Structure 1
Amino acid sequence: MFVSRITDQIKAELKAKNAVLVAHYYVSAELQTLAEESGGIVSDSLEMARFGQNCSADTIVVAGVKFMGETAKILSPEKTVLVLDEGATCSLDEDCPIANFSKFCDEHPDRTVVVYANTSAEVKARADWVVTSGSALKVVQHLKSQGKKILWAPDKHLGNYVQSETGADMLLWQGSCVVHERFKADALVNLKKHHPEAGVLVHPESPQSVVDLADVVGSTTALINAVRDRDEQTFIVATDNGIFHKMREVAPNKTLIEAPTAGQGADCESCAHCEWMAMNTLDNCLSTLKTAGNEIKIDPLVNQKAQNSIQKLLDFTA
C-alpha cells in the first residue's frame, strides 16, 4: 500500500513539472517499473540520455549514478537534469580523476583517446571518442583500420577484452568496476558443474578469467536479449543483479542464477549489486522532484566538448 501511495505521488509530481523519469537496469525493480509506467524508460546510460534528449519533458530525473546524470545533461544542456542522490557515484568515474587523466593523455599525444561512458563529463570532454560496452568493439576496430593507436580509459577489464578481440594497439588506464571485479572464475567453474545446462552471460567489465567462461559476453542490453532469445532455460548471470528484474520481464519462465562472488576476500556467496545504485529509492525520487534538488550542472565549454565526443559515437552507430 505504501509503495502504491508514493508512486502515485511521484507520477503526479512528474506530470506537474513536465518531467520524465529514466532508470538504469541496475536500480530497484520499483524504480524501473515506475519509470516505464510514467512514460519514461529503463535502459543503459546512453539510451537514458538519448531518451531524455528526444522527449518533450523540461526536466529529466535520472535514477542511476552521477555520470549518468551528467551524460543526460551533456545531450540536453537546455533541460534541467536531476539525480536522486548526489552521493551516488561509480568506482570507474572515481578512479579516473580529470587531472591525472589529462596528464596521462598529454604523455601520449600520438594516441586517440577513447573513454567508456562510465566517466565524468570532464573526462569525456578530454576524449576523442566516448563508447559504450555495446559499441566499443566496433569503434576500436574502426580506429584500428585507420591505423590509430588508442589510449583507453577507465575500465582495464573492458579494455583488455576489446584489445584481445580486435588486436588494436591500446594503452589501458587501470580502473575497474567494484561490482564486476568481484566475480570469481574458480567459483563459477564449480557452479557450472552443478548447472551444466545453463548458459553463462558475462558483462565485459568482468575479469578475463570470468569472460573466458562465458557463452555470451555483452552489454546490459545484450545480456537481456540473450535471456530472451537463446534456447537455454537456465542462465548464470555475471553482472549487477538489478538486471534480473528486466530479464524476468522478458523471459518469465526461465531460471536465473547469480554468478558467484565467493572466494578470497569475499563476504558473501553472491553479492553483485552496486552500493551506489542502491542509493536510488522511491523516497529520494519524490523528495528530489518536490525540491528540484541534486541538479546536475556542467561548465558549458566542458559540456560542448563532451557532446562532441559522444556525437562521434552517435554518428558512427546511426
Structure 2
Amino acid sequence: MSESHAKQIPVQLESRIQKLASDAPTQPWLNKQQKQALKDEIKQLLKQHNAQLVAHYYVDDELQALAEETGGVVADSLEMANFGAQSAADVLVVCGVRFMGETAKMLSPEKTVLMPDLEATCSLDVGCPAKEFAEFCAQHPEHTVVVYANTSAEVKAIADWVVTSGNALQIVRHLKEKGEKIIWAPDRHLGNWIEKETGIEMIRWQGHCIVHDEFKSFELDELCTKHPQAKVLVHPESPASVVDQADVVGSTKVLLNAVQTMPDKEFIVATDYNIFYKMQQLAPEKQLYVAPTGGHGATCKSCAHCPWMAMNGLENLRDCLRNMAPEIVLDEEVRKKALNSVQRMLEFSRQAGLVQTK
C-alpha cells in the first residue's frame, strides 16, 4: 500500500455512513399557499430576531431564493464562513450541513447560530472521526495536517490548516513551496486531484462524498455522445475517471463562473443538481444537464443530491426561528483550537483575493 493511500475507512464505518444517508428524513410536500405562508412567517421572524440566512448552493432552491430576498447569502462554504464572520446580525441561520454551522459558530461565538436540523451531516464528516484521525496524525508528527472544511470542529481542532475546494490548490501549493509534508483529509478524490495538479504526494485519509463518488465515467461518455457540444463541468470530489473527462474542474464558485462566462450553450454538470438554481439565474439562456450517477439498469440516472442537504426545508426553518433552536453549541477549548486553522485559511484567502472583505 502506498503512503498516499495509508488510511482506508473501516467497512463498519462505511456501512454507518450509508445507513445515515438512507435514514435522512425527506421534507413534506407543500402546496403553493402553504409555502407562501411559511415564507411570510420566516421573513417576519428573521426581522424579529435580527437574523440572517446563510445558505449553501446545494439546499432547495426556495431556501436559496429566500436567503437572497432577505439580505442573507447563497454561497460555497468559504464564502458562507466569511459572510457570517462579517455579518451584523445577532442570529445566523445556516441552511446547509452541520460542519457549516459549526464553522459559523467558531468565527462568531457571540452570535446565536441555528440550523433547521442538527442531524444534517456529511459523509466526509462522519467518515473522519476525530479520535481515529488524531491517532493517525500522531503516527506522522513531522507532517502538516490539512483538512477539508467538510469535517467536524473536533477534526479542525487537530488540523494546522482548513481548506475548501475553492482554495485547496493555492494553500497546498503554498505549503509545498515551504517544503512541508502534508497529511490530507478526508476526501480521497479531491486529494488525488490536488496531488496531480501540484505534484506533491500527500498521506491521504480515504473518505469520500456519497454524492460525487457516484458519478460514472462510462455513463458520462454516453451523455457526452448525446450532447457533443456540451462542456463538462466537474467538482473535484468526483472520481478521477470523471475528472479526467472535464473541460472545467473546480469548486462550486468555479463551476458557476464557467457557466456564466464561457460562450458555450450546453453544459453537463457533475455536482449536486441544486446548483442549477444559481446557474440558471446567472445564465438563463444556457442548457444544463445533470451528470449521471446511475449505472446500467439503475432506477435513477442521476440522483446527484445530498440527502442531508435535503433535510433543510421551509417548515423546519420556520420552527427553528420560532423556537430559537436547535442551536450550534461548541466546547470552548475545541472552538478556539479549530478557529486557529480556520482563521489561517481565511487570512490566506483574503490575501490571495479568494474572498471579499467588507
Q: Same fold (TM over 0.5)?
A: yes
Match of 2:335 in 1: 303
Distance (whole Å) between structure 1 residues aligned to residue 94 and residue 335 of structure 2? 18
Q: CA deviation at 1:236?
A: 0.1
Kindly indicate whether the alpha-carbon contact (under 8 Å) linking 1:60 and 1:82 is maintained by their aligned counterparts in 2.
Answer: yes
Consecutive unaligned residues in structure 2, runs of 5 or more: 1-32, 351-358
Kindly indicate whether the alpha-carbon contact (under 8 Å) linking 1:46 and 1:71 is maintained by their aligned counterparts in 2.
Answer: no
Q: How many residues are paired up?
A: 318
Kindly indicate whether the alpha-carbon contact (under 8 Å) linking 2:116 and 2:313 is maintained by their aligned counterparts in 1.
Answer: yes
Mapping of 1:63-74 within 5 angstroms? 63-74=95-106
Q: CA deviation at 1:293?
A: 1.1
Match of 1:205 in 2: 237
Kindly indicate whether the alpha-carbon contact (under 8 Å) linking 2:82 and 2:346 is maintained by their aligned counterparts in 1.
Answer: no
Match of 1:21 in 2: 53
Distance (whole Å) between structure 1 residues aligned to residue 210 and residue 349 of structure 2? 29
Distance (whole Å) between structure 2 residues aligned to residue 265 and residue 160 of structure 1? 29
Match of 1:100 in 2: 132
Mapping of 1:274-313 within 5 angstroms? 274-313=306-345
Matched, 1:147 2:179: yes
For each residue in 1:236-258, what CA deviation from the matched residue of structure 2 results, as whole angstroms up to 9, or x when unmatched? 00000010000000000100000
Distance (whole Å) between structure 2 residues aligned to residue 42 and residue 315 of structure 1? 21
Compute the TM-score of the two structures, normalised by the length of structure 2. Answer: 0.87
4+ aligned runs moved over 2 Å, structure 1: 264-267
Matched, 1:134 2:166: yes
Match of 1:228 in 2: 260
Compute the TM-score of the two structures, normalised by the length of structure 1. Answer: 0.98
Match of 2:347 in 1: 315
CA RMSD of aligned residues (A): 1.0
Which residue identity is paired with 2:107?
A: L
Mapping of 1:2-13 within 5 angstroms? 2-13=34-45
Q: CA deviation at 1:3?
A: 1.7
Tell me whether 301-310 or 210-219 shows the greater mean CA deviation.
301-310
Distance (whole Å) between structure 1 residues aligned to residue 336 and residue 216 of structure 2? 40
Match of 2:65 in 1: 33
Q: CA deviation at 1:265?
A: 8.5
Matched, 1:194 2:226: yes
Q: CA deviation at 1:49?
A: 2.2
Residue 173 of structure 1 aligns to a residue whose secondary structure is: strand
Consecutive unaligned residues in structure 1, runs of 5 or more: none
Residue 296 of structure 1 aligns to a residue whose secondary structure is: coil
Which residue identity is paired with 1:233?
A: K
Q: CA deviation at 1:263?
A: 1.1
The equivalent position to 1:239 in structure 2, one of 249, 271, 276, is 271
Match of 2:214 in 1: 182
Residue 322 of structure 2 aligns to a residue whose secondary structure is: helix
